[in-house]
Amino acid sequence: MIVTTSKYGDRWDLLAYDLLGDAALAPELMAVNQELVTLYQNHIPEGVEIVIPEIVAPAERITQTKAPWKKD
């Protein structure tokens, strides 16, 4: 099991993009952290431990473009 600690301003979609490579994988990330979803809704406070799932996603599901809020 891989665990990371949230930073200020983290959201499920941002974490999915940063950790799993695709913001569309946010539901999978939220599913393994169900207790945090219930407690914190969309924004996650700084310093919370987040479990990162091992996801084997089909290549066509992974987006090739960066999220609009990401800088190059």
| Least confidently predicted of 3-7, 15-19, 20-24, 56-60 | 56-60
Q: What is the reported pLDDT for 38?
A: 80
User: 66 or 63: which carries more pLDDT confidence?
Assistant: 66
Q: What is the reported pLDDT for 17?
A: 92
Q: Where are the beta strands (DSSP E) in 1-72?
A: 2-5, 49-52
Q: What is the reported pLDDT for 56?
A: 55
Does residue 39 contact residue 30 with C-beta atoms inside 8 Å? no
pTM beyond cutoff 0.85: no
Distance of CA 7 to the CA centre of its chain: 12
User: 65 or 13: which carries more pLDDT confidence?
Assistant: 13
